[in-house]
């Protein structure tokens, strides 16, 4: 099953702002009010607390149920109060019923009534070796479906979420705003829902 847990870390207010990207606020685009503009994709200056969020995603990936793809993914959600919720991918023999790590984590936040409290996301993934350990130095970003799920959260919360994308191993990390990963997104605003 998709495993979620409340990670035992809480981040301080100043670090919460840094990890959540509040020190680099997005700008509104001309046109639709629900689209936010950000700088081009950039390498992240990793703070110790961003590193903790990525570490939480890596720890979650250890519990991936990925017997078909042998590709483990972990996600960590930074909540407004500094707590961290995690999720991991859960594959199914029928493939189409598989759940991505980001979706599992977002569903857990929603089940706790905390959907609008998500302020940042970290995701990591890599091929599993024979022992089931995640390996690889390529940065992994959310799939298209997860970007759409995260867009739902972002629009409901009125945020352009920072997404910290990390490799399974090493220091390779890139940070994007959700609007960079899913430009011109369809969401609740298009349906007049807020």
90 is in an annotated binding site: yes
H or E stretch covering 173: strand 173-177
Q: Is 38 annotated as a binding residue?
A: no
User: Does the annotation flag 94 for ligand binding?
Assistant: yes
Q: Please, is 70 exposed, middle or buried when counting C-beta atoms within 10 Å of its C-beta (0-12, 13-18, 19+)?
A: middle
100 is in an annotated binding site: yes
| Token representation of residue 42 | 């950039």
Rounded to an integer, what is the distance from CA 78 to the centroid of its chain?
9
Tell me whether residue 92 is annotated as binding.
yes
Whole-angstrom CA distances from 34 to 61, 182, 183 are: 32, 13, 11
Would you name the residues annotated as active-site residues? 102
Residue 184 tokens read as 């011109």
Asked if residue 93 belongs to a known ligand binding site, the reply is yes
| Residue 146 marked as a ligand binder | yes
Q: Where are the beta strands (DSSP E) in 23-172?
A: 27-28, 36-37, 42-43, 71-79, 84-88, 118-128, 134-135, 162-167
Q: Please report how many Cα atoms fall inside a 13 Å half-sphere around the Cα of residue 29, on the Cβ side.
A: 14
The answer to the question of whether 20 is labelled as a binding residue is: no
CA proximity to 123, closest of 174, 79, 158: 174
Residue ranges for the known binding site for substrate are: 89-95
Residue ranges for the known binding site for Zn(2+) are: 100, 143, 146
Residue ranges for the known binding site are: 89-95, 100, 143, 146
């Amino acid at each position: 099953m998709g495993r979620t847990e409340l990670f035992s870390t809480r981040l301080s207010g100043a670090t919460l702002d840094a990890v959540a990207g509040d020190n680099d606020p997005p700008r509104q685009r001309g046109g639709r009010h629900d689209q936010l503009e950000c700088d081009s994709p950039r390498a992240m200056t990793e703070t110790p607390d961003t590193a903790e969020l990525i570490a939480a995603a890596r720890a979650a990936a250890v519990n991936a149920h990925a017997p078909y793809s042998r590709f483990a993914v972990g996600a960590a959600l930074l909540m407004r109060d500094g707590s961290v919720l995690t999720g991991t991918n859960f594959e199914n023999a029928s493939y189409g019923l598989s759940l991505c790590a980001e979706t599992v984590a977002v569903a857990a936040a929603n089940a706790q009534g905390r959907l609008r409290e998500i302020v940042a996301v970290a995701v990591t993934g890599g091929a599993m070796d024979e022992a089931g350990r995640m390996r690889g130095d390529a940065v992994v970003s959310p799939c298209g479906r997860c970007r759409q799920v995260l867009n739902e959260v972002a629009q409901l919360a009125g945020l352009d979420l920072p997404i910290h994308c990390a490799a399974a191993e090493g220091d390779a990390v890139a940070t994007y705003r959700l609007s960079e990963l899913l430009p011109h997104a369809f969401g609740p605003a298009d349906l007049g829902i807020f």
